[in-house]
Structure 1
Amino acid sequence: MTSMNNGPQPIGNLLSRLEETHAVYRKTLEAAALPGESIRDTEERLRAEHEAVRPPQYGVTPPKPPVLAKTVMRCPLESDRQPDFFVPGLYDVATKDNRSLMDVAVYRLSKRDKRACEMIRYDLPSGYVEVTAGRYGMASVWDYDIVLMMVSHLTESMNLFKAGRGQMPGRKFAPHTSDIAKFCRRGDGGRQTDDIEAALDRLQGTIIKSVREIPSRNGKRNVREVESEGLIGLYRVVSRTDTGKVSSVEITAPDWIYREVTSGAKPDVLTVHRDYFLIESGLGRFVYRLARRAAGKTDAKWAFKTIYEHSGSAGPFNKFCFTLRKIIKANELPEYTLQEEAGQKGPLLVMRHKDVPDELLEPVTGS
């Protein structure tokens, strides 16, 4: 005799089914997430893509899509808005960036174009810089977040050492993947964890070659100084979870970063606003770093053409200008306001710190 099961179901079974369905749905979103994209962002993007490709019903005029405000910043994660003040973590230190590399892009700004085995060259007044990518692809500006974390903790450790509150920092840095996700203000799903190992491959395979002409002591002829090293040194996966996911890693700081942070009376680094990690656009991130380096606490002006040349962009100049003007129109970057101004040889980008009154600003023209 077959039993009928049409009556009320136990609430425990229903909750269990709902939890299983939610877990499957979340895994689907994590698998589809783009680098730096939160679960909420992924859900909204997939819904918009579905609406865009769904065919209209016969005889029914499809509604016009809503007009959304242009933005270059993503919303912070819910866990990021409510930090646990009782559990200090690696992500609590201020974000630092290497000053010498803030006005040229030593990474790609595109999420899609991997630029494997390609090279970018920047001609500078005292020499040039070459960025060469390995077979895994060129490191992206989002991969570089791991370098920012490494520089930040190396700087913090060096400050503690100078204050007599710690030992001289070594070159090895061993964060947990959850610390990396928290520091970079990303989600900590499975897709994000898998991306960390791939990011380390690209960072290690992206080589920075610096060539400088230095005046000799006798003044007769210049000395050519050449240095070539990856964005990171060696790395290894220290541990994995029961499901095979990367749990913690060990990264060796390259000599050029370790030397610039630990040698000298003051590390050659600048503090970066924590909302930098919420900037979605690769070019937006580069513009913020440029403003932080060139404008500082005042203002600076750089030609669109010069920014294009320093960004390593592989696209045409007119498309670059279109993207840059969208960032200027949104005007959402942390700490700085952006404005376009006409110049004698083309448009200029004016970058101004938000905390300085207009009457105290003196125009400073970038190279």
Structure 2
Amino acid sequence: MALIEALDRLEGTRIRTNIITGDEEQIDGFGLIDASSIRRKHGLDGRLLWCEVKLSDWVFNAIRAHEVLTLHRDYFRLRKPIERRVYELARKHCGQQDSWRIGLGLLLKKSGSQSPEKRFRQMIRHLAEHDHLPDYSVSFNAETDVVTFTNRGSMSAALPSSSWSGPLDPEVYHEAREAAPSWDVHYLESEWRNWCGREEIAPKAPERHFLRFCKSWYEKRGRA
């Protein structure tokens, strides 16, 4: 039953995003997974035989383009939802940086917690005192209401921006201009190389990878 409930939650989770281009706005909605199928033994045993999950196109494309944020395995051992949410924010905003500072009020807003600020302050203070968040050490300054996340250095070091420094086939620039009209393809190439370095990506097919990056860039930002 736990597996079925988990799949129901995933299928029921919907995401909506928007892209503004000039005076027009495009709003898209999608789910995390499109469908799921479970086969198990009938009866008291109920032993699972297999489970199949069909990812949505958005999730599949994000994974294929290495645009999914990785999580420490101990993330799943965090018992409290607020601890998991705070870790997600630290992973996103601090990343591989040495540290990240944020005001308590803004952290509360970003977390989406419905707790009053007084209660949220207690939870952050407790988190800082026990200091068991994966990847980041947490400290809280009660006088300034500032929370600081310090990188523990437990993540693999990011590759330099030149992790893949080979030349691209000159023909790819024409396709890049079609994938991201109005954008400077050499600027996009620089952004792509820097992104590959930050995300520790060494593409096996760099031209195809670069074109997917250009397409995704244009879909998110529209015309230059």
The answer to whether the 8 A contact 1:197-1:246 is kept is no
CA distance in structure 1 between the partners assigned to 2:120 and 2:46 by the alignment: 38
Task: Tell me the TM-score normalised to structure 2 length.
Answer: 0.61
Task: Give the whole-Å Cα distance in 1 for the aligned partners of 2:60 and 2:102.
Answer: 30
SS at match of 2:88: helix
Using CA pairs below 8 Å that are at least 6 residues apart, which structure has the higher relative contact order? 1
- Are residues 1:239 and 2:40 paired? yes
Paired position in structure 2 for 1:350 = 148
Match of 2:15 among 188, 191, 208: 208
The one-letter amino acid paired with 2:101 is K
**Contact 1:339–1:351 (8 Å) recurs in 2:** yes
Percent of residue pairs bearing the same amino acid type: 26
Give the whole-Å Cα distance in 2 for the aligned partners of 1:303 and 1:240. 52
* Higher helix fraction (1 or 2): 2
Supply the distance in 2 between the matched residues of 1:256 and 1:341 (Cα, whole angstroms).
40
Structure 1 outlier segments of 4+, above 6 Å = none
Corresponding residue to 2:99 among 295, 299, 304 = 299
Taking the aligned partners of 1:293 and 1:241, their CA distance within structure 2 comes to: 43
CA offset at residue 339 of structure 1? 0.6
- CA distance in structure 1 between the partners assigned to 2:61 and 2:26 by the alignment: 16
Tell me if the contact between 1:204 and 1:231 (Cα under 8 Å) persists in the aligned partners: yes
C-alpha deviation, 1:232, in angstroms: 2.0
Instruction: Give the TM-score taking structure 1 as reference length.
Output: 0.38
Structure 2: gaps of 5 or more residues = 155-224
**Separation in structure 1 between the aligned mates of residue 145 and residue 41 of structure 2, nearest angstrom:** 51
Aligned with residue 308 of structure 1, among 94, 98, 108: 108
Q: Please, which of 118, 128, 132 is the counterpart of residue 332 of structure 1?
A: 132
User: Does residue 196 of structure 1 match 2:22?
Assistant: no
1:301 Cα deviation after fit: 1.1
Partner amino acid, structure 2, of 1:307: L
The 3-state SS of whatever aligns with 2:33 is coil
Letter of the 1:281 counterpart: K
Partner of 2:121: 321
User: RMSD value over aligned CA atoms?
Assistant: 2.2
Query: 2:16–2:30: 8 Å Cα contact kept in structure 1?
Result: yes
Over 3 Å counting, the alpha-carbon distance change for 1:225 and 1:341 in structure 2 is: farther
Q: How much does 1:231 deviate?
A: 2.5
Q: Highest CA radius of gyration, 1 or 2?
A: 1
- Distance across 1 between alignment mates of 2:47 and 2:124: 37
**Residue 212 of structure 1, CA deviation:** 3.4
1:228 pairs with 2:29: yes
Structure 1 residues without counterparts, runs of 5 or longer: 1-193, 357-367
Contact 2:89/2:111 (<8 A) preserved: no
Q: Deviations over 1:113-166 (max 9, x none)?
A: xxxxxxxxxxxxxxxxxxxxxxxxxxxxxxxxxxxxxxxxxxxxxxxxxxxxxx
Distance 1:317 1:292, change over 3 A: same
One-letter amino acid matched to 2:145: P
Counterpart amino acid of 1:195? Answer: A
